Amino acid sequence: MPDQKALFEFNDIHVEVDGKQIVSGVSLKILPGEIHAIMGPNGSGKSSLSNALMGHPDYAIMSGEAFLDGRSILSMSADERSRAGLYLAFQYPLAIPGVTVANFMRAALQAHRGKDADMSDFRKLFKAAMKALLIDPSFATRYLNDGFSGGEKKRIEILQMSMLNPKMALLDETDSGLDIDALKIVSEGINRFHNDSNALLLVTHYQRLLNYVKPHHVHVMIHGRIVKTGGPELALKLEELGYDWVEAEYAQGTGA
Amino acid sequence: MSRSSQKTDTTSEYLIPESAPELLRGPKWLRDARERSRRDFNKSPVPPRGLHLWRYTDPATFLIPHDGPPDSTPDDGVQSSEGPVSEHLEKDSTGRLVHDVGGRDIELHGADALTSRGVVVCRLSEAVDRHRKLVEQYLYQLINSRSGKFEAQNSALWNNGIFIFVPDSVRVAEPIHLLREAGRSGSTQFHRLLIVVGRNAELTVVDEYFGGDDSDRNTSHANSAVEIFGLQESRVRYVSLQRYAHRMNSYLTHRATLERGATMLTVPLDFGGAVSKHNYGVSLVGEGAESNIIGLLFASGRQHFDNHTRHHHAASRTQSNIDFKTVLRDKSTSAYTGLIRIENEAKGCEAYQENRNLLLNRGVRAEVIPELEILNEDVSCTHGATIGPIDPLTIFYLKSRGIEQEAAVRMIVAGFVDSTLKRLPSDVAERVAGFAHRRLEGL
């Protein structure tokens, strides 16, 4: 049974990709208003975990359970999970030629509000959201992510998050590919979005995003498992010392 | 892929009889040309299956018995058609409209203003008398009895002809919209279109083929030939919109030639019919000429399309560009053969060809055959083709934003099409986008 206080909770999640186990029993409980970070080296399974939770077709959840606001989500399709309030900002957002940013955003918001819902406020909201992220208005009529730079794509991911206003946002390597100015803009967007009733899970290799978006809890993931949990100071230690010491500790602990 | 047929050419019923009334129409030079075409048609064999450009469609599909009474003219009463003229006029009150009611009659709307500038829009059979020199000079130059069996058939029997002439330096700003209606159930239409665009002149033509039967009665046929001449520095835009009903087989040959500095945009939109074999060809015979072909093909049910494009570079510094997109669903099939030929004496040419095929379900089939015949080194030529389903990760991306599966697929397909429509000049895009979107919705 889900914890009544948790906004998002998953237990003992196992994920396979192409028949290979990538995530081996990960559990986490996130309360409203919290910011969690999962850190880990490349290949630790942290991106696989977030993709699987969103319903990515290449990442199969073999066992475990996940609850958003007390509702079990693993039997839901990706679009149902989204409408239930889950959001994933992708590490590598896809381009969709022929579909403009504005049309895409309108369709997504319409899907969230219901197909007969009034959308007369869309333009205003959309323009304001673009402006807040310093996205040039010309992007509205460009094809989604088609020819966008890495930083532009990440801003569009945050734009979507700010408009769809999910309860629980998973941000997968949102800081990668950003220069320092773009990192600040994106971080400010994330901080504007965050409030007492939603929550964030930042998935990141480096801690530089965490200088701008302050996590309450930091988890270290290695070999498909969360092996260490701490406060913000853990991120700083990882920044200074890398992941080797956690690996060593983990190897000792498992007797490997 | 192949459509079986019991027909063969061994019986005389498929020969054009000497007594065919069309052969007796027009002045002597025309009657001679028709008679030559009749003989060439009768003596040429049906192309064997597997012959170049006949690998994917049974030639017998287009054999039509000629032993019955001439059925090229529809019987009394205007048949049911899906696009009433008034609807077009309403949307496009400033455009020039030519309504060819299955060869029975031709209605001209708004052509008077053009006449004063020397522009001619009339039935080809009238032009044969009234503009004899022009017609004799140009008709049959690009498509004639030697072009192929079915081209010979059209050259002998064409009955629904339209002639458009634009004098030198005249710019026809409004598109001329031709509505070419299929005959009654089981009939055959032989459409002919001759367009001559003078030096430094400008013309846009929307050539819309529609009508025919949706019910399970006899299949109707259309054999169409389109000849277009773009003289020096002319600018021609030609849209070929095929939106026949389901019980309709369409054979179409389009040939255009471009003189020095002329530019042409050809927009094949292949949406309707049961079996369609359409062949679009542009020859760049003058230095610096440029041709763009931007095409869309939507197939569903058991429709079969066999399209061929041909860009022939016969002069230096000529450019050609093809973007041809296909969307297939249900059990439909499509073959696309794209030829680029660059002659040895044509230096510094650029040619590009892209064909993308979106398969919406299993059970559809698309074939792509690029053909490059490049006879000199001094060229820039690229081609590419893709065939495949919608990327499941693209669908996932849309779903992760709350958009349902079916809506996500619709958006991606619409995007696939819109990115092509966006490449068209806006006035042409406006005119065809509605047809494209309506056909997409019906997919």
The domain locations on chain B are 12-286, 391-443
pLDDT at res. B269 = 96
Q: Hey, what amino acid is at B309?
A: T
Give the residue-averaged pLDDT of B45-74: 77
Nearest CA in chain A to B402: A79
pLDDT at res. B110 = 67
CB B227 within 8 A of CB B193: yes
DSSP codes joined into one string, A17-65: ETTEEEEEEEEEEE-TT-EEEEE--TTSSHHHHHHHHHT-TTSEEEEEE
Q: Return the structure tokens found at B100.
A: 């060819």
- Classify residue B372 as exposed, middle or buried by CB count within 10 Å of its CB (0-12, 13-18, 19+): middle
The answer, yes or no, to whether residue A98 has pLDDT greater than 80, is yes
B407/A143 Cβ within 8 A: no
The answer, yes or no, to whether residue B95 has pLDDT greater than 60, is no
Q: Return the structure tokens found at A138.
A: 């010309």
Query: Which of B392, B400, B407 is opposite residue A54, by nearest beta carbon?
Result: B400
Nearest C-alpha neighbor of B286 from the set B230, B367, B205 = B230
CB B283 within 8 A of CB B254: no
Nearest CA in chain A to B407: A107
Q: What crossing angle do the helices spanning A244-254 and A232-241 adopt, rounded to 10°?
A: 110
- Classify residue A80 as exposed, middle or buried by CB count within 10 Å of its CB (0-12, 13-18, 19+): middle
The answer, yes or no, to whether residue B73 has pLDDT greater than 50, is no
Task: Choose from A58, A96, A112 for mutation: most chain B CBs within 10 A.
Answer: A96
CB A125 within 8 A of CB A162: no
User: Which chain A positions have a beta carbon within 8 Å of B391's beta carbon?
Assistant: 94
CB neighbours of A75 closer than 8 A, spacing ≥ 6?
A: none
Nearest C-alpha neighbor of B411 from the set A255, A98, A56, A114 = A98
Residue B64: C-alpha distances to residues B5, B186, B259 (Å) = 12, 10, 36
CB B309 within 8 A of CB B341: no
State whether CATH 3.40.50.300 applies to domain A8-94+145-254: yes
A67-82 pLDDT tens trace? 999 999 999 999 999 9
Q: According to DSSP H, which parts of B66-123 are helical?
A: 85-91, 112-115
The answer, yes or no, to whether residue B83 has pLDDT greater than 60, is no
Residues B183, B75: Cα–Cα separation, whole Å: 9
Which residues in A have their CB inside 8 Å of a CB on B? 54-58, 77-79, 81-83, 87-88, 90, 93-94, 96-99, 103-104, 107-108, 111-112, 143, 160, 164
Query: Which of B392, B411, B418 is opposite residue A107, by nearest beta carbon?
Result: B411
B402/A99 Cβ within 8 A: no
The answer, yes or no, to whether residue B78 has pLDDT greater than 60, is no
B417/A79 Cβ within 8 A: no
What is the CA angle B5-B9-B12, rounded to 5? Answer: 125
The answer, yes or no, to whether residue B106 has pLDDT greater than 90, is no
Task: Choose from B354, B390, B400 for mutation: most chain A CBs within 10 A.
Answer: B400
Nearest C-alpha neighbor of A93 from the set A157, A42, A141 = A157
B403/A111 Cβ within 8 A: yes
Q: Return the structure tokens found at A74.
A: 């693993």
Pairing of strands A35-39, A199-204: parallel
User: Which chain A positions have a beta carbon within 8 Å of B398's beta carbon?
Assistant: 79, 96, 104, 107-108
Which residues in B have their CB inside 8 Å of a CB on A? 391-394, 396-405, 407-408, 411-412, 414-419, 422
Q: How far is B313 from chain A (nearest CA, A)?
A: 31
The one-character DSSP state at B72 is: S
Nearest C-alpha neighbor of A79 from the set B414, B409, B57, B244 = B409
pLDDT at res. B1 = 41
CB neighbours of A141 closer than 8 A, spacing ≥ 6?
A: A100, A101, A102
CB B339 within 8 A of CB B373: yes
User: Which chain B positions have a beta carbon within 8 Å of A104's beta carbon?
Assistant: 398, 401, 411
CB neighbours of B183 closer than 8 A, spacing ≥ 6?
A: B71, B72, B73, B74, B79, B102, B103, B189, B211, B220
* Confidence class for position A255, pLDDT limits 50, 70, 90: low
CB B317 within 8 A of CB B289: no
Q: If DSSP codes are grouped into helix, strand and coil, which group holds residue A212?
A: coil
pLDDT at res. B96 = 64
Q: How far is B357 from chain A (nearest CA, A)?
A: 14
User: Which chain A positions have a beta carbon within 8 Å of B401's beta carbon?
Assistant: 79, 82, 104, 107-108, 111, 160, 164
Residues B102, B190: Cα–Cα separation, whole Å: 9
* Confidence class for position B254, pLDDT limits 50, 70, 90: very high
Give 3-state DSSP helix, strand, coil % of chain B, rounded to 5: 25, 40, 40
Task: Choose from A17, A58, A83, A99 for mutation: most chain B CBs within 10 A.
Answer: A99
B293-340 pLDDT tens trace? 999 999 999 999 999 999 999 999 999 999 999 999 999 999 999 999
User: Which chain B positions have a beta carbon within 8 Å of A88's beta carbon?
Assistant: 400
Q: Domain residues of chain A, as ranges?
A: 8-94+145-254
Q: How far is B304 from chain A (nearest CA, A)?
A: 26
ipTM of the complex: 0.96
pLDDT at res. B128 = 94
Nearest C-alpha neighbor of B162 from the set B101, B213, B110 = B101
User: Which chain A positions have a beta carbon within 8 Å of B323's beta carbon?
Assistant: none
Q: Hey, what amino acid is at B402?
A: G
Residues B201, B209: Cα–Cα separation, whole Å: 26
The answer, yes or no, to whether residue B76 has pLDDT greater than 90, is no
Q: Return the structure tokens found at B377.
A: 């080194």
Nearest C-alpha neighbor of B320 from the set B345, B341, B336 = B341
pLDDT at res. B216 = 60
- Classify residue B43 as exposed, middle or buried by CB count within 10 Å of its CB (0-12, 13-18, 19+): exposed
Q: Return the structure tokens found at B346.
A: 């044509």
